[in-house]
Amino acid sequence: MIYRIVPQTGRSGIFVEPRSGCVIRYVTRKEMSEQYRDKNFNVIGEIGGFARAPAQGDILITENGSNIPILPRGSRVRPLEWIVGYIAVEKNSYLAVVKSLCCSLMCRRKNSRSTAWKKKR
C-alpha cells in the first residue's frame, strides 16, 4: 500500500531518513500523548529503523516524491533503536519514527568514506 504524509500542526521534530537522506517533520511522543490522552490512534508501521524492509511492503511517499519503505511494527532493535515521534498518514493512523544509533553511525561512516574517496581522486 502507498501512503502519503498528511499535513498537520505542531510538527516539531525533524527526522532525516538514513537510506534516502529525505528530511521529514514529525510530531514528538510528548505531543502525541497530549493530543491523544486515551491513546486512541493506530500505528501501522515504522520508518527509519535498521531492519530490512519487505520486498513487496508498504511505501511512504514524501512531499518531494521520495519513496521510503515502511517497516512492520515491532521491527526496531531495542535498546539501539527507539521511537521518537509519529507521522500522520491517515485519520488516526500514524507511522512511528525510529531513531537508531546504528543507522546514524553507519551513515556517517559511509559519508566520510565517500568524501575521502573523492579527495583522493
**pLDDT tens string 49-75:** 777 777 888 888 888 888 888 888 877
The continuous run of DSSP H or E covering 47 comes out as strand 42-47
Q: Where are the domains of the chain?
A: 2-120
pLDDT value, residue 62: 85
**Under a CB-based contact definition with an 8 Å cutoff, are residues 59 and 2 in contact?**
yes
Q: Which three cell numbers stand for residue 84?
A: 521518537
CA 28, 30, 33, 36 dihedral sign is negative
Residue 106: pLDDT above 60? no
Residue 103: pLDDT above 60? no
pLDDT value, residue 36: 85
Query: Which amino acid appears at position 73 of this protein?
Result: R
Global pTM reads: 0.75
Count CB-CB contacts under 10 A for residue 6.
Answer: 12
pLDDT value, residue 13: 85
